[in-house]
């Protein structure tokens, strides 16, 4: 007697709506046609092409969640995550540019900005202005609230003094979300968020870092020398910047998970294609079980990373707790990306470590995933403390 076949049950995390599928396919096509031909040259130059940046704006990929009334796409957080993954599968540097713009800066402005700030800045972010998130300093990395940058209250304005380091998107940005302490005696409760325009007096973008990976994505220092910032450019309340900073990073970590998932996927695609072409001992190396095992482990890890990322993104979008899930997604995807890129190099063999090989760049790009927006070692306590509190 034939047993009745059960209906296939699709995982709700990976079921995409029609709009999500359309955006995914559109971004994938765009990235492969418009970005991929220039990836190596941008990496070698250490600069992102301005024409491609303009295309990102024209495609609506720099204002995905910004409401249509402000010139944005009126999309969702999950759609932004999909876009970051697809861009990163071609160039992780493009992925981080869109990540900082969408999931951190525009997202924070939507949530914490007042009506004047939204009306002034969101249309610019949607159409032609790159945004940057400025928290890190020489003494404030994992200890994010050990800020030395000060904001002196002068009534109708604040004077900012200090130096920020490792600030993504800084070379191209026209708007900076800057965190400074307006009341050092209060500790982290003095930290305040400011919207700083590039042209403000006393503000300058300094040295651009010469990095190992993500070279096309700019990372610079910021210098503040008695920089006057109008009180109306305080985002949120004075002394509440720590909450804005942490909540923005929690959401940004999901996007870093998406970036690293896309990177891992690229490593797998390149390695699989090469395994079909490269012949040794009279047959394609993909026919050897040892190579098949490595590809299988890469594919399994990538799927697991994607599920963790999508789960965190869906929870955030549904208004559910997601901080632990974001930490898991960021931690696992970053570890997976580095491992996948390394394995891909080994499958390529000697050619894998040459500049002509695409996985060499992916290996360099992967390293930062375990470091920025919260190191892997900072994600583990977030997860562990939650387990022990249950």
Per-residue pLDDT of the chain (390 residues; tens, 9 = 90+): 344 444 444 456 778 999 999 999 999 999 999 999 999 999 999 999 999 999 999 999 999 999 999 999 999 999 999 999 999 999 999 999 999 999 999 999 999 999 999 999 999 999 999 999 999 999 988 887 899 999 999 999 999 999 999 999 999 999 999 999 999 999 999 999 999 999 999 999 999 999 999 999 999 999 999 999 999 999 999 999 999 999 999 999 999 999 999 999 999 999 999 999 999 999 999 999 999 999 999 999 999 999 999 999 999 999 999 999 999 999 999 999 999 999 999 999 999 999 999 999 999 999 999 999 999 999 999 999 999 998
CATH number at residue 167: 2.40.110.10
Residue 373 annotated in active site: yes
The verdict on 152 and 115 lying in the same domain is no
Domain-terminating residue out of 217, 239, 261? 239
Q: What is the extent of the structural domain holding 45?
A: 18-129
Record the pTM: 0.95
Task: Domain count for the chain, please give it.
Answer: 3
* Phi/psi of residue 128, nearest 5 degrees: -155, 0
Evaluate whether residue 308 is within a structural domain.
Answer: yes
Domain-terminating residue out of 194, 220, 239? 239
Catalytic residue chosen out of the listed positions 86, 137, 172, 373:
373
Token pair recorded at residue 362? 């992916």
Alpha helices in the chain (DSSP H): 18-30, 39-45, 50-58, 77-88, 92-99, 107-112, 115-127, 241-277, 289-317, 323-348, 358-366, 376-389
With the C-alpha atoms ordered 342, 346, 350, 355, is the resulting torsion angle positive or negative? Answer: negative
The verdict on 82 and 148 lying in the same domain is no
The verdict on 270 and 381 lying in the same domain is yes
pLDDT of residue 141: 84
- 130-134 and 157-168 strand pairing: unpaired
From CA 96, how far away is CA 166, in angstroms rounded? 13
* Phi/psi of residue 156, nearest 5 degrees: -85, 0
The verdict on 247 and 195 lying in the same domain is no
With the C-alpha atoms ordered 292, 298, 300, 303, is the resulting torsion angle positive or negative? Answer: negative
pLDDT of residue 2: 43
The verdict on 164 and 231 lying in the same domain is yes
The verdict on 146 and 250 lying in the same domain is no
């Amino acid at each position: 007697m034939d047993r009745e076949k059960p209906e296939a049950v699709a995982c709700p995390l990976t079921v995409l709506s029609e709009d999500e599928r359309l955006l995914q396919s559109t971004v994938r096509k765009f990235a492969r046609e418009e970005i991929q031909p220039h990836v190596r040259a941008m990496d070698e130059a250490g600069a992102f092409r301005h024409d491609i940046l303009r295309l990102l704006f024209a495609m609506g990929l720099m204002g995905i969640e910004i409401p249509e009334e402000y010139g944005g796409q009126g999309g969702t957080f999950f759609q932004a995550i999909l876009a970051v993954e697809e861009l990163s599968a071609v160039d992780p540097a493009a992925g981080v540019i869109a990540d900082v713009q969408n999931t951190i800066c525009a997202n924070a402005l939507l949530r914490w900005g007042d009506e004047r700030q939204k009306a002034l800045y969101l249309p610019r972010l949607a159409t032609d202005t790159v945004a940057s998130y400025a928290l890190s300093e020489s003494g404030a990395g994992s200890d994010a609230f050990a800020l030395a940058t000060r904001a002196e209250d002068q009534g109708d304005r604040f004077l900012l003094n200090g130096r920020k380091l490792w600030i993504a998107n800084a070379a191209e940005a026209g708007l900076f979300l800057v965190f400074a302490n307006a009341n050092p005696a209060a500790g982290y409760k003095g930290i305040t968020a400011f919207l700083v325009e590039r042209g403000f007096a006393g503000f300058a973008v300094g040295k651009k870092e010469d990095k190992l990976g993500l070279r096309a994505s700019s990372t610079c220092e910021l210098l503040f020398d008695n920089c006057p910032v109008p009180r109306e450019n305080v985002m949120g309340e004075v002394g509440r910047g720590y909450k804005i900073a942490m909540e923005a990073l929690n959401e940004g970590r999901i996007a870093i998970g998406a970036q690293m998932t896309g990177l891992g996927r690229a490593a797998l695609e390149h390695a699989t294609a090469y395994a079909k072409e490269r012949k040794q001992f009279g047959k394609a190396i993909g026919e050897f079980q040892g190579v098949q095992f490595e590809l299988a482990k890469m594919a399994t890890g990538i799927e697991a990373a994607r599920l963790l990322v999508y789960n965190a993104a869906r929870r955030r979008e549904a208004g559910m707790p997601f901080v632990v899930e974001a930490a898991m997604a960021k931690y696992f995807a970053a570890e997976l990306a580095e491992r996948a890129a390394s394995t891909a190099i080994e499958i390529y063999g000697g050619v894998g470590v040459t500049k002509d090989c695409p996985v060499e760049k992916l290996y360099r790009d992967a390293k930062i995933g375990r470091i920025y927006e919260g190191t892997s070692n900072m994600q583990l306590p977030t997860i562990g403390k939650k387990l022990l509190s249950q």
